[in-house]
A and B are shown apart, each in its own frame.
Chain A
């Protein structure tokens, strides 16, 4: 049985300009100990979907439907008080910018102690000792001294380590990492990813890694969801997504990766155009306006289903025949999305 099972999640925001369908029927599962990567560009709904699982998008202007079953409990339907027992306890979350995500007025140690004390009956001394232990676990040097520092006295990488330490405070079964490396420089990114990988192994927790960076996904994920404009357009194992991608949007993402082991292209390939406004998304396949392969059938939404007999768990949302895709996706000897004729 899976640890988390999200079914037909829909999130809508009422704005002055109309209704934004930020998440439009997303379903996925995470098994215990598994690392799931969710990839997509800004505004595709990947963060909103995960924030919604913890009820962090709840508000007057938000409408949520669907379910998110976690240990026999539907996190979408449950009340906020019950969710508060899950947040930071069984499911923890870390965010993109560790400087703005830590409270500037409280010492790092105090923020860790608060995270521990909210879910555990524990004395001050013990909580503090646990905070030091956690900082050590995530590789903060001299934790017994740094525990009394303020966030602004930490470097960017150390702040993210402190955020991770806070997330680990109550031994969560699931860690949701929302763009955990985006605000960091490249060497620090690598360190944080290694840390997450090590912790996942050591503590046996499941991880949902939300990112726009396929390179980050490749480091950690066992399985991958590709999201576009509020929907999952493809999902499969890491190898399936990287070596046998079925959706043209995935081809475009892979094609726009810069690679050190290939000759430098004249210019970095990109996917033409911009993602659609979620106020009025296009009919049918959301990727249609940017897809050079779009045809009449694309005006109907392709279901997310397996189209490969040999890989029943590899799902995608594209009407094209798999064999046709395999020939179409090769651009200059590598996977990519052919640029539409200008």
Chain B
């Protein structure tokens, strides 16, 4: 097991280098605009642009630039400076991460809390009115685009423009350090929006997984032992049905932390990582893009490793060597 983890970690590190090299290559192969020009502003002279190009190191060959980047990253955990704001990328990302983590973690809790009871009850009461209703609702929920759902909720419940002004709306996010109450209330609508589609997918996934499991021979054995139906469902059925859900969850958390929460962040104007990278792409701000993508890759690699380790504990038949 330990050997396996060490090997996976080494692989992960190698993968991060490959990812960073690929982003460098993409950036140069498909130039989306000269960063020096963007930085210099509209009225800059060619000399000024050239000077900026030299200060940013953009006049160096690409492999030299990549070498400097990797060297600073390894020696100083330095992700370079934003072309746009001249701030260190590491600070920019660390400033934004808490907002994204707040958004994602709350949404994950919310969607699991919603998906588990719905998935379990609709599997156990298959084809009941509850099952039919929730399955149609979930279909609608995950078909709804995030930006649309977000705008609808803002229209209905935001305290500035809402028909029922209950919750803080756009741009209300404050860090948890300045008060848990305000932090949580400002995030309620974003959590709902981000959790909506996932809650629907997880509920349906758990339902079909549990329906399969409830047809297994060992469920019949559990009933033949004289166990109560609740225990049969929870201890024998759900226990087996959650293993594929864990895989899904690990990947989803990794992806959302990597920037996939961008639509929700945009609708609610939450200063998260997704917003950061969106602006950076718009301005051809390579160091920021590079940094966010590396962080994202790091999250995805980490969570998929966590998933695989968790799997060995969830299913004793799985052994890694």
Contact = CB atoms under 8 A, between A and B. Distances in A.
Given A85-B226, A114-B227, A105 B315 contact: yes
Contact of A166 (B127, B220, B223, B225): B225
Interface in B210-257: 216-218, 220-229, 236, 239-240
B227 A118 contact: yes
B228 A95 contact: no
A103 B224 contact: no
B314 interface: yes
B316 interface: yes
B3 interface: no
Contacts, number: 69
B225 A104 contact: no
A119 B228 CA distance: 11
A89 interface: yes
Interface in B284-315: 314-315
A50 B152 CA distance: 56
B236 A104 contact: no
A152 B236 contact: no
Contacts of A223: none
A92 B221 CA distance: 10
A336 B303 CA distance: 66
Contacts of A101: 217-218, 220-221
Contacts of B227: 84, 88, 114, 118
B240 A105 contact: yes
Interface in B3-60: none
Contacts of B76: none
Contacts of B222: 103
B229 to A, nearest CB: 7
B316 A56 contact: no
Contacts of B225: 87-88, 114-115, 118, 166
Given A104-B315, A105-B240, A95 B221 contact: yes
A103 B317 CA distance: 11
Given A80-B229, A105-B239, A97 B224 contact: no
A278 interface: no
Name B's interface SS: helix
A93 B217 CA distance: 12
Nearest to B219: A103
Interface size bracket, A side: 20 to 34
Contacts of A105: 239-240, 314-316
A150 B217 contact: no
Interface size bracket, B side: 20 to 34
Contact of B226 (A51, A86, A100, A104): A86
Contact of A150 (B221, B223, B236, B316): B316
Nearest to B240: A105
B126 to A, nearest CB: 8
A84 B218 contact: no
B211 to A, nearest CB: 13
B311 to A, nearest CB: 12
Contacts of A88: 224-227
A102 B314 contact: no
Contacts of A100: 216-218
A54 B227 CA distance: 13
Nearest to B216: A100
Contacts of A89: 226
Nearest to B239: A105
B217 A104 contact: no
A87 B224 contact: yes
Interface in A122-166: 150, 152, 163, 166
Contacts of B224: 54, 56, 87-88, 92-93, 95
A87 B226 contact: yes
B217 A97 contact: yes
A114 B228 CA distance: 12
Contact of A152 (B127, B240, B317): B317
A102 B225 CA distance: 11
* Residue picked from A56, A92, A103, A163, most chain B C-beta under 10 Å: A103
B317 A104 contact: yes
Nearest to A92: B224
Nearest to A153: B316
B226 A103 contact: no
The 6 closest A-B pairs by CB, nearest first: A88-B226, A87-B226, A88-B225, A100-B217, A103-B218, A93-B224
11 contacts: A87-B226, A101-B217, A101-B218, A101-B221, A102-B221, A103-B218, A103-B222, A103-B239, A104-B218, A104-B316, A105-B240
